[in-house]
Amino acid sequence: MSTSTTSGVAAANDAAAADGTTPAKRRSIFSRAANPTPAPGYRGSKKATKLEPFTVISYLGVTIFGLFALIPLWMILAGSLTAESTLARSGYSFFPEPFSLDAYVAIFSGTAVFQGYAATLFITVVGTVLSLLATASLSWVIARRMPRISRPLTIFAYLPMLFSGGLVPLYLLVTQVLQLQNNWFAVILPHMMAPFLVFVAVSFFRQLPEEILDSAKVDGAGELRVFFEIVLPLSKPILAVIGLFYAVSYWNEWFTAMLFISDPEKYPLQLMLQNLIANVTNAAMLPGSGSVAPIYQLRLALTVVTIGPILLAYPFAQRYFVKGLTLGATKG
Amino acid sequence: MQQRMTTHKENPVDSAVPVYRAHARQSRKQRSRGSGVLLLLAAPGIAWFLIFAYAPMAGLIVAFKNFDVSKGIFNSPWSGLDNFKYFIESGDAPAIVLNTLVLNVLFLAATLGAGLALAIMLNELRARVFKKFMQSAIFFPYFVSPIVISIILQVILAGAGGHGGAVNDALGLFSLPEVSWYTEPGPWPWILTIVKVWQLGGYMSVIFLAAITSIPEDVYEAAMLDGATRARMALSITMPLLKPTAAILIVLGVGRIFYGDFGTIFAIIGDNGTLFSTTDVIDTYVFRSLRTIGDFGTTAAIGLFQSVVGFILVTAAVLIQRRYSKESSIL
B225 near A CB under 8 A: no
- In a 3-state reduction of DSSP, which class is residue A82? strand
A98: left (phi over 0), alpha (psi -120 to 50) or beta: beta
Chain A partners within 8 Å of B62 (Cβ)? 168-169, 172
Task: Check which CATH number belongs to the domain holding A279 and give it.
Answer: 1.10.3720.10
Would residue B314 count as lying in a domain? no
Structural domain harbouring B147 = 93-279
Which residue in chain B has the smallest CA separation from A202?
Answer: B13
Q: What is the DSSP letter of A99?
A: B
Would residue A202 count as lying in a domain? yes
Structural domain harbouring A192 = 111-285
Would residue A231 count as lying in a domain? yes
B288 near A CB under 8 A: no
Which residue in chain B has the smallest CA separation from A139?
Answer: B42
Would residue A325 count as lying in a domain? no
| pLDDT at residue A158, rounded to an integer | 84
Q: What is the DSSP letter of A324?
A: H
Question: Which residue pairs from A274-282 have beta carbons closer than 8 angstroms and sit at least 24 positions apart in sequence?
Answer: A274/B147, A274/B267, A276/A302, A277/B147, A277/B150, A277/B151, A277/B154, A280/B154
- Closest of B217, B158, B215 to residue A17, by C-alpha: B215
| pLDDT at residue A325, rounded to an integer | 67
Would residue B111 count as lying in a domain? yes
Question: Which residue pairs from A149-157 have beta carbons closer than 8 angstroms and sit at least 24 positions apart in sequence?
Answer: A149/B35, A149/B38, A149/B39, A149/B42, A151/B9, A151/B14, A153/B42, A153/B46, A154/A202, A154/B9, A154/B11, A154/B13, A154/B14, A155/B5, A155/B8, A155/B9, A156/B46, A156/B49, A157/A195, A157/A198, A157/A199, A157/B45, A157/B49
Which residue in chain B has the smallest CA separation from A69?
Answer: B138
Would residue B149 count as lying in a domain? yes
Mean pLDDT over B141-160 rounds to 86
Chain B partners within 8 Å of A211 (Cβ)? none
Vertex A178: Cα angle to A173 and A180 (nearest 5): 105
Would residue A223 count as lying in a domain? yes
B80: left (phi over 0), alpha (psi -120 to 50) or beta: left
Would residue A47 count as lying in a domain? no
More confident residue, B29 or A5: B29
Provide, rounded to the nearest whole percent, the portion of chain B with pLDDT above 70.
85
Positive/negative CA dihedral, B257, B262, B265, B269: positive
Would residue B65 count as lying in a domain? no
Q: How confident is the model at residue B18 (pLDDT cuts 50, 70, 90)?
A: very low
| pLDDT at residue B17, rounded to an integer | 42
Which residue in chain B has the smallest CA separation from A282?
Answer: B161
Average pLDDT, rounded, for chain B = 79
Which residues make beta-bridge pairs with A144?
A: none
User: At residue B72, does pLDDT exceed 90?
Assistant: no
* Separation of alpha carbons A300 and A281, rounded Å: 14
A69 to B306: CB separation less than 8 angstroms, yes or no: no
User: At residue B16, does pLDDT exceed 60?
Assistant: no
- Distances in Å between the Cα of A141 and the Cα atoms of A228, A296, B32, B46, B48 are 13, 52, 12, 11, 15
Half-sphere exposure (Cβ direction) of A206: Cα atoms closer than 13 Å:
29
Q: What is the DSSP letter of B142?
A: G
- Tally the domains of chain B: 1
Decide if B52 contacts A192 (C-beta within 8 A). Answer: yes
Q: How confident is the model at residue B48 (pLDDT cuts 50, 70, 90)?
A: very high
Would residue A220 count as lying in a domain? yes
B216 to A13: CB separation less than 8 angstroms, yes or no: yes
| pLDDT at residue A82, rounded to an integer | 85
Q: How confident is the model at residue B45 (pLDDT cuts 50, 70, 90)?
A: very high
Mean pLDDT over B216-245 rounds to 87
Chain A partners within 8 Å of B227 (Cβ)? none
| pLDDT at residue A322, rounded to an integer | 74
* Separation of alpha carbons B313 and A133, rounded Å: 32
In sequence order, which ranges of A35-111 are alpha helices (DSSP H)?
A: 53-80, 84-90, 102-109
B216 to chain A, closest Cα gap in Å: 6
Would residue B322 count as lying in a domain? no
Would residue A86 count as lying in a domain? no
Average pLDDT, rounded, for chain A = 77
Chain B interface, best mutation among A168, A193, A229, A289, by max B CB count within 10 A = A168
Chain B partners within 8 Å of A87 (Cβ)? 160
Task: Give the lowest-confidence range in A88-102, B9-23, B110-124, B227-241.
Answer: B9-23
Chain B partners within 8 Å of A43 (Cβ)? 123, 213
User: At residue B127, does pLDDT exceed 70?
Assistant: yes
Would residue A97 count as lying in a domain? no
Task: Check which CATH number belongs to the domain holding B254 and give it.
Answer: 1.10.3720.10
Residue type, B280: D
Chain B interface, best mutation among A162, A196, A211, A285, by max B CB count within 10 A = A162
B155 near A CB under 8 A: yes
A104 to chain B, closest Cα gap in Å: 17
B42 to A153: CB separation less than 8 angstroms, yes or no: yes
Chain B partners within 8 Å of A255 (Cβ)? 262-263, 266
Chain A partners within 8 Å of B311 (Cβ)? 162-163
A66 to B138: CB separation less than 8 angstroms, yes or no: yes
| pLDDT at residue A326, rounded to an integer | 66
Residues of chain A with pLDDT under 70: 1-50, 278-293, 324-332
B134 to A62: CB separation less than 8 angstroms, yes or no: yes
- In a 3-state reduction of DSSP, which class is residue A193? coil
* Separation of alpha carbons A302 and A273, rounded Å: 7
B320 to chain A, closest Cα gap in Å: 13
In this complex, which of B8, B215, B252 lies closest to A330 when CB atoms are compared?
B252
| pLDDT at residue B267, rounded to an integer | 85
* Separation of alpha carbons B82 and B138, rounded Å: 49
Which residue in chain B has the smallest CA separation from A318?
Answer: B136
* Chain pair A-B, CB pairs under 8 angstroms: 426
At a CB cut-off of 8 Å and minimum separation 6, what does B139 contact?
A318, A321, A322, B202, B203, B205, B206
| pLDDT at residue B47, rounded to an integer | 94
B7 to chain A, closest Cα gap in Å: 10
User: At residue B179, does pLDDT exceed 70?
Assistant: yes
Would residue B245 count as lying in a domain? yes
Would residue B216 count as lying in a domain? yes
Which residue in chain A has the smallest CA separation from B30?
Answer: A146
B70 near A CB under 8 A: no
- Tally the domains of chain A: 1
- In a 3-state reduction of DSSP, which class is residue A92? coil
Q: How confident is the model at residue B301 (pLDDT cuts 50, 70, 90)?
A: confident
* Separation of alpha carbons B142 and B206, rounded Å: 12
More confident residue, A252 or B247: A252
Chain A partners within 8 Å of B16 (Cβ)? 19-23, 203
Mean pLDDT over B252-258 rounds to 77
